[in-house]
């Protein structure tokens, strides 16, 4: 028999794998109380399409068989075997309940019908519960081929449908590459041939709809015609991209029916992942509901973590490097409520699960997600500070044994300092959203202390030496990642420290170095290729600025040339002329190039990223003014922290925007607001899919570049591309930063603790302190001695520092002391041994560094800016280009332990030389045209506009306005003979130039919004 390469062949292959057969039993199965269904393959029954009730969307025979086997009294009460009023009433009630609650909730909780409580599904049995296991075995998981689902379009049929106890939970459209059709054709069939008004396709009637071929799987949870959203359900390729790897045992998509859709796996999804969740609309108060089905990487990371905990118990660290757009909030919610019940050696592993987020605006989002998936809301506690202090709330939650506790990292220092009374001897799971290196800091040490299981109270008669030793020992243990806790860290941008703390160790290399890698990865590359996020570098345009400065005095004083360059750059970039020119480019680009695309139905927004609050305020005024000049209805919003005064009176977000700061995120979603101008705000953790353009006027690099530009990458219906205009030309730094996180991020080797020995040796050699002073100081400090007892030791060290060390040695000592404290703070978390002397030195140096004066540094550029002026400014937009990223894993080196050690020497140069060198570096693409345009725009056009005779002619006799314009131009240009001789000659002698000036002045006066001189 020849190989069947048709679509029906794929259908038969899946059916055989799941049910063990491809054809129905003859005679066909009849449901009776004693009938035993025949299943095969992975545990599914082969259903008969003739048993499907199209009006009520149930397989009557499978439903009847389930009820008669598990609840015979119910089957008899509703007369399930007879088509009469009782059955019709029951089916109508069942249909109504599914319509109102969704099939997931109906299967989980059953329905009430008259006096009856009817179970429609028996879930996963707990270990040792034989009756529950027996009931679970009576569930009927059935697969039906060629399901004719419509009463009206009777010839239309789905390739496959899955049922649980007669209730449909999944549908399939299959396509075959060997017949030149792909998963895209299956998606098109769902969108165009499957009428969403059919009862089977109503919201939450089915759990999921799959489009499948041999290479890819995609799914949709709500069919709405052409707007249906199909998401990838693929494993990812070996290179970290979209799709699936080749399978040596069959089809690349075989994992779907062989592993994901087995009865036990689908039951797990039904019980722990699938859900209908509602999100309120802040403007209307109405809730918008959506049905959630896990994506493959979400299902895989949660199941992999749960399996590892069940195998090894508490005490391990896990790092999930999941790109933005991976759905980390849902993954964390699913992990939180399931890991709380994992058992190891017959005992529950954790007493409480603590969920930590470093982003305040995600705290509430995580809390709602977890509550949506928990069956008992009282088992979740959120540290909010409402009703009582945050400290008291946390203590109460720990004492009450709350299964899940949610709080922000920012609360730990204040919360954990008062947790001495927290229950001891318990085990905890700590789940960290957006893990950063701060997890190894004092805030994390405070958390560890609160959760530690072996803290011992001090005896009243303990002497001071024993006391100090005990406290040091406690501090050492509080810094460790606890043996009674597991840490689960999620991040898109893993730093070297994060990998060092939470990464999975790799086998030693040839040199014995041990690297680390994430436990689970969902790469930025895969997220982009699967279109969960957009590539923010695809339409990246660097903008180059060119300037020409001039001296304004005849004298030629000396200034420090090194500092002068950066100071002059800041001066010209924040000059009113530069801000105005850049604001015009931003507004013109957004209004003329972004909005006309009509993506997201014309609802696009833009973010302006600035490097300082003063510059953000400048941009706010410049953009608002230019929008008004262009007669645009749109307005900007500015975002920064605090109140500030830049010479024109105090300003704040509220005073400039006209509404409270708390409303910024909701207002930017509404017209007339289209520009969000930020200074160190909304650049991490801010999720606004309407953002389509970003205008960067700030130096970016490293993780900050990835986090900032990634504000644009959120997908939205109709959003196909995003734009970045970079006025600082960060191209090289941006490319290097994204390359680190495009695929899997590895750590080359662990930090060498011997470098702390080297740092201590170099500090000791400078003889600022003696070890006896360190011991004495730490003893006094830990015994809570008064300040006057501590200060003499610090004063003695300060005197040696200031009187006996050269300036270079002073800089070396402070930088090495800071490096020691910083590096020890991290290493103490992961070292397998304790070093009390390091702990003592860290305590001492932390306070000593604060007591030491900073080396005198004269500002040898003071007064320079008052002696120069910006003669010309020009912006040149380079070619729009995508920034390519390397298709390979990146490897980070461990965090450096060394420190610098010398004071930079100033290089004095005359102001004229500094200006010449600056103009050569930043004015290489400059011409007289820029100076001419500036002269016309800032001097000639305003004077002509104020010429009284021209104004009268324009207002009263428009036919003579052109004549008066020429006359006014001559009256303004004539005085320029001495200062602008070349301009004067060209205007008088060159008719083409004169016409150019006249046209430009006319456009400026008439305020034509589409032309800029």
pLDDT tens digits for 191-231? 999 999 999 999 999 999 999 999 999 999 999 999 899 99
Q: Given this model, what pLDDT does residue 542 score?
A: 84
Question: Residue-wise over 401-439: b if at least 16 C-beta within 10 A, else e?
Answer: ebbbbbbbbbbbeebbeebeebeeeebbbbbbbbbbbbb
Which region among 241-255, 485-499, 967-981 has the lowest average model confidence (pLDDT)? 967-981
Strands 287-292 and 275-280, by their bridges, are: antiparallel
Residue 398 has pLDDT above 60, yes or no: yes
| pLDDT score recorded for residue 419 | 36
- Residue 696 — pLDDT band, cuts 50, 70, 90? very high
Task: Calculate mean pLDDT across residues 338-353.
Answer: 89
- Cα 925 to Cα 876: distance, rounded to the nearest angstrom: 8
- The mean pLDDT value for 156-173 works out to 96
- The neighbour count for residue 455, using CB atoms within 10 Å, is 14
Q: What are phi and psi of 22, to 5 degrees?
A: -120, -15
Question: Between these two residues, 542 and 544, which has the higher pLDDT value?
Answer: 542
Please check the confidence at residue 458 and state whether its pLDDT lies above 70: no
Q: Which run of H or E residues covers position 318?
A: strand 317-322
Give me the pLDDT at residue 635, please.
Answer: 96
Most distant CA atoms of the chain, gap in Å: 113
Residue with tokens 């008062």: 418
Q: How far apart are CA 372 and CA 358, in angstroms?
A: 21
Confidence at 850, pLDDT banded by 50, 70, 90: confident
Highest mean pLDDT among 91-95, 343-347, 473-477: 91-95
pLDDT value of position 789: 84
pLDDT for the residue 140: 95
Residues of the chain with pLDDT > 70, as a percent, come to 76
Select the highest-mean-pLDDT range: 21-30, 719-728, 781-790, 977-986. 719-728
For the segment 358-381, the average pLDDT, to the nearest whole number, is: 58
Cα four-point dihedral sign 704, 708, 714, 719: negative
The predicted pLDDT at position 503 comes to 87
pLDDT at 876: 64
Instruction: Taking residues 60-77, report their average pLDDT.
Output: 94
Question: What pLDDT is attached to residue 195?
Answer: 92
CB 716 within 8 A of CB 689: yes
**Residue 1009 scores a pLDDT above 60:** no
pLDDT of residue 432: 83
Residues 6+ apart with CB under 8 A from 770: none
pLDDT value at 317 more than 70? yes
pLDDT band for position 35 (50/70/90)? low
C-alpha atoms less than 13 angstroms from C-alpha of 199 in its C-beta half-sphere: 21
Neighbours of 803 (CB within 10 A): 7
Phi-psi region of 54 (alpha: psi -120 to 50; beta: other; left: phi over 0): alpha
Which is more confident, 204 or 152? 204
pLDDT band at 470 (very low <50, low <70, confident <90, very high): low
Please determine, for residue 704, whether its predicted confidence score (pLDDT) is greater than 80. Answer: yes
What is the 8-class DSSP label of residue 671?
T
3-state secondary structure 590-617: HHHHHHHHCHHHHCCEEEEEECCHHHHH
Looking at residue 361, its pLDDT comes to: 46
Instruction: Indicate the range of 279-283, 530-534, 595-599 predicted with least confidence.
Output: 279-283
Residue 283 pLDDT > 80 = no
What integer best gives the mean pLDDT of the chain? 81
Q: Average pLDDT in the 243-269 region?
A: 93
Q: Could you give the percent of the chain with pLDDT greater than 90?
A: 34
357 contacts 364 by C-beta, under 8 angstroms: no
Residues 188 and 148: beta-carbon distance below 8 Å: no
Across the beta sheet with 691-697, the strand order is 635-639, 673-679, 605-610, 691-697, 723-726, 540-551, 868-877
pLDDT band at 499 (very low <50, low <70, confident <90, very high): confident
If one counts every other C-beta atom within 10 angstroms of the C-beta of residue 816, the result is 22
Predicted pLDDT at 925 = 47
Assign 659 a pLDDT band (cuts: 50, 70, 90). Answer: very high
For the cut 90, the answer to whether the pLDDT of residue 520 exceeds it is yes
Buried b / exposed e along 579-617 (16+ C-beta atoms within 10 A):
bbbbbbbbbebbbeebbeeebbeebbbbbbbbbbbbbbb
Confidence band (pLDDT; 50, 70, 90) for 926? very low
**Distance, first Cα to last Cα, the chain:** 78
Q: What is the pTM of this model?
A: 0.77
Burial class (CB in 10 A: 0-12, 13-18, 19+), 858: exposed
Q: What is the model's pLDDT at position 911?
A: 62
Q: Supply the pLDDT for residue 735.
A: 85
Contacts of 505 (CB under 8 A, 6+ apart): 514, 515, 516
Of the candidates 760, 767, 831, 757, the one whose C-alpha atom is nearest the C-alpha of residue 797 is 767
| Nearest C-alpha neighbor of 340 from the set 390, 420, 403 | 403
Is residue 445 predicted with pLDDT exceeding 60? Answer: no
**For the chain, how many residues are written?**
1013
Q: Which of 475-484, 676-685, 708-717, 758-767 has the lowest mean pLDDT?
A: 475-484
Q: How far apart are CA 125 and CA 783, in angstroms?
A: 55
Closest CA to 491 of 665, 303, 710: 710
Q: Which two tokens stand for residue 706?
A: 């990835």
Q: How far is CA 349 from the centre of its chain?
A: 30
Q: Identify whether the C-beta of residue 186 lies closer than 8 Å to the C-beta of residue 11.
A: no
pLDDT bucket at 802, cuts 50 / 70 / 90: confident
The rounded distance, in Å, linking the Cα atoms of 333 and 219 is 21
Q: Among 22-26, 119-123, 372-376, 882-886, whose mean pLDDT is lowest?
A: 372-376
């Amino acid at each position: 028999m020849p190989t069947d390469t048709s679509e029906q062949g794929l259908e038969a292959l899946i059916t055989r794998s799941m049910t063990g057969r491809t054809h129905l039993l003859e005679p066909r199965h009849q449901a009776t109380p004693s009938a035993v269904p025949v299943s095969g393959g992975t545990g599914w029954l082969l259903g008969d399409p003739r048993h499907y009730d199209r009006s009520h969307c149930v397989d009557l025979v499978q439903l009847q068989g389930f009820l008669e086997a598990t609840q015979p009294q119910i089957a008899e009460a509703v007369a399930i075997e007879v088509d009469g009023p009782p059955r019709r009433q029951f089916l109508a009630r069942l249909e109504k309940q599914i319509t109102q609650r969704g099939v997931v909730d109906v299967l989980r909780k059953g329905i009430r019908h008259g006096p009856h409580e009817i179970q429609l599904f028996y879930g996963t049995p707990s270990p040792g519960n034989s009756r529950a296991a027996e009931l679970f075995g009576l569930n009927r998981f059935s697969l039906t081929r060629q399901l004719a689902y419509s009463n009206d379009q009777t010839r239309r049929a789905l390739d496959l449908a899955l049922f649980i106890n007669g209730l449909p939970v999944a549908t399939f459209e299959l396509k075959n590459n060997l017949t030149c059709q792909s998963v895209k054709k299956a998606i098109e069939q769902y969108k165009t041939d499957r009428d969403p008004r059919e009862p089977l396709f109503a919201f939450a009637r089915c759990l999921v709809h799959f489009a499948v071929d041999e290479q890819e799987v995609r799914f949709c949870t709500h069919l709405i015609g052409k707007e249906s959203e199909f998401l990838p359900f693929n494993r990812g390729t070996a290179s970290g991209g979209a799709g699936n790897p080749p399978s040596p045992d069959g089809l690349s998509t075989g994992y779907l029916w062989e592993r994901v859709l087995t009865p036990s796996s689908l039951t797990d999804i039904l019980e722990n992942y699938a859900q209908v969740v509602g999100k309120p609309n802040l403007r209307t108060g109405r809730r918008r509901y959506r049905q959630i089905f896990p994506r493959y990487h979400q299902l895989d990371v949660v199941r992999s973590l749960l399996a590892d905990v069940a195998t090894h118990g508490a005490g391990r660290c896990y790092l999930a490097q999941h790109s933005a757009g991976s759905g980390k909030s849902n993954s964390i919610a699913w992990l939180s409520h399931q890991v709380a019940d994992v058992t190891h050696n017959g005992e529950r592993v954790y007493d409480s699960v603590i969920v930590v987020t470093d982003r305040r605006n995600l705290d509430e989002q995580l809390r709602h997600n977890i509550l949506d998936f928990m069956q008992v809301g009282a088992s979740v506690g959120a540290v909010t500070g409402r009703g009582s202090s945050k400290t008291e709330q946390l203590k109460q939650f720990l004492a009450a044994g709350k299964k899940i506790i949610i709080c922000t990292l920012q609360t730990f220092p204040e919360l954990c300092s008062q947790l001495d009374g927290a229950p001891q001897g318990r085990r905890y799971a700590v789940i960290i959203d957006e893990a950063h290196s701060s997890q190894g800091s004092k805030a994390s040490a405070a958390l560890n202390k609160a959760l530690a299981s072996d803290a011992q109270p001090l005896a009243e008669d303990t002497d001071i030496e024993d006391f100090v030793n005990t406290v040091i020992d406690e501090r050492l243990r509080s810094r460790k990642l606890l043996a009674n806790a597991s840490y689960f860290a999620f991040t898109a941008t893993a730093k070297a420290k994060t990998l060092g703390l939470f990464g999975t160790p790799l086998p030693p290399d040839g040199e014995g170095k041990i690297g680390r890698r994430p436990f689970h990865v969902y790469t930025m590359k895969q997220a982009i290729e699967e279109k969960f996020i957009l590539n923010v570098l695809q339409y990246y345009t660097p903008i180059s600025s060119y300037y020409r400065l001039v001296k304004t005095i005849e004298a030629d004083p000396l200034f420090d040339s090194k500092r002068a360059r950066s100071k002059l750059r800041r001066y010209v970039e924040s000059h009113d002329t530069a801000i105005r020119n850049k604001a015009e480019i931003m507004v013109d680009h957004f209004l003329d190039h972004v909005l006309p695309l009509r993506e997201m139905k014309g609802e696009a927004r833009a973010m302006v990223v600035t490097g300082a609050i003063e510059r953000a305020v400048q941009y706010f005024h410049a953009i608002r003014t230019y929008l008004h000049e262009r007669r645009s209805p749109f307005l900007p919003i500015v975002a920064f922290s605090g109140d500030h005064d830049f010479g024109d009176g105090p300003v704040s977000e509220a005073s400039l925007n006209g509404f409270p700061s708390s409303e910024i995120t909701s207002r930017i979603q509404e017209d007339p607001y289209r520009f969000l101008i930020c200074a160190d705000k909304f650049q991490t953790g801010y999720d606004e899919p309407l953002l389509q353009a970003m205008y960067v006027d700030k130096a970016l690099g490293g993780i900050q570049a990835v986090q900032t530009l990634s504000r644009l990458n959120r997908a939205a219906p109709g959003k196909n591309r995003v734009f970045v205009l970079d006025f600082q030309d960060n191209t090289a730094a941006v490319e290097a930063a994204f390359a680190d996180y495009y695929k899997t991020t590895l750590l080359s080797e662990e930090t060498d603790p011997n470098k702390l020995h080297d740092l201590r040796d170099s500090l000791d050699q400078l003889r600022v302190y003696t070890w006896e002073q360190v011991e004495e100081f730490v003893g006094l400090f830990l015994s809570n001695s008064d300040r006057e007892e501590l200060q003499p030791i610090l004063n003695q060290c300060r005197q040696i520092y200031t009187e006996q060390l050269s300036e270079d040695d002073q800089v070396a000592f402070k930088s090495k002391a800071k490096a020691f404290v910083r590096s020890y703070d991290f290493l103490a978390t992961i070292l397998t041994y304790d070093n009390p002397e390091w702990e003592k030195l860290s305590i001492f140096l932390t306070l000593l560094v604060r007591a030491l004066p900073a080396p005198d540094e004269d500002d040898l550029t003071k007064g320079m800016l008052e002696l120069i002026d910006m003669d010309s400014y020009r912006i040149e937009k380079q070619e729009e280009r995508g920034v390519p990223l390397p298709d390979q894993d990146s490897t980070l080196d461990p965090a450096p332990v060394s420190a610098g050690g010398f004071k930079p020497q100033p290089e004095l140069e005359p102001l004229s030389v500094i200006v010449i060198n600056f103009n050569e570096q930043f004015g290489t693409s400059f011409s007289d045209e820029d100076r001419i345009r500036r002269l016309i725009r800032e001097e000639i056009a305003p004077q002509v506009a104020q010429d009284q005779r021209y104004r009268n002619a324009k207002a009263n006799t428009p036919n003579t306005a052109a004549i008066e314009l020429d006359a006014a131009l001559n009256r303004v240009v004539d005085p320029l003979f001495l200062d602008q001789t070349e301009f004067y000659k060209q205007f008088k002698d060159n008719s083409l130039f004169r016409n150019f000036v006249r046209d430009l002045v006319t456009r400026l006066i008439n305020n034509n919004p589409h032309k800029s001189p």
